[in-house]
Amino acid sequence: MDNLTTCNRCGSDACYVQEVNENIKNYMCYGCGFISNTLYKKGEELFEQMIETLPEIYKVLMVEEEDTGQIWVPSYIKVEDKGMVFANGRFAHHWKWTGIKAARVTEEEKEKFKKKDGTYHQWKMDMSTMKGFVERDFMEALDYIGVL
């Protein structure tokens, strides 16, 4: 069952909950842009594997719920033909959501975007479109890249 609820991290009423099974739920808050899962807890294998690959800023911004131990981390959204939104910065007190729009790969640059199977990527991230958004503007960042 999927529904909207109040985010335990930021209090927004735009937290989407997806029930995987009776024991596992995914959380995606469109108010603050953070995600969680009932298995995002210290000591849980899923969480421990995930944390190994997270960028440092994501580790710095993680928030643990006091009562449940559930951990919230910034999300990373990438839509091939739209762009991507991610947390960007070095410090917990100085970071922003960053939106970058996608652009078509031109015929001239096609060789730079060759896949292992011999085909070519059709889209690239256009770094000239990079734009920062404050934490509570996560949905504006999604709108900027054309997802909303």
**117-130: average pLDDT:** 96
> SS3 for 13?
coil
Q: What is the pLDDT of residue 1?
A: 54
Residues 148 and 146: their CA atoms lie apart, in Å, by: 6
| Residue 115 binned pLDDT confidence (cut-offs 50, 70, 90) | very high
How do residues 57-86 score in pLDDT, each as one tens digit?
999 999 999 999 999 999 999 999 999 999
| Exposed / middle / buried, residue 100 (Cβ in 10 Å: 0-12, 13-18, 19+) | buried
Contact 18, 2 (CB under 8 A): yes
Q: Is 117 exposed, middle or buried (0-12, 13-18, 19+ CB in 10 A)?
A: exposed
Confidence band for 2, pLDDT divided at 50, 70 and 90: low
93 contact partners, CB below 8 Å, separation of at least 6: none
pTM: 0.90
Average pLDDT over residues 13-26: 94
- Asked which of 73-77, 81-85, 111-115, 129-133 is least confident by mean pLDDT, the reply is 111-115
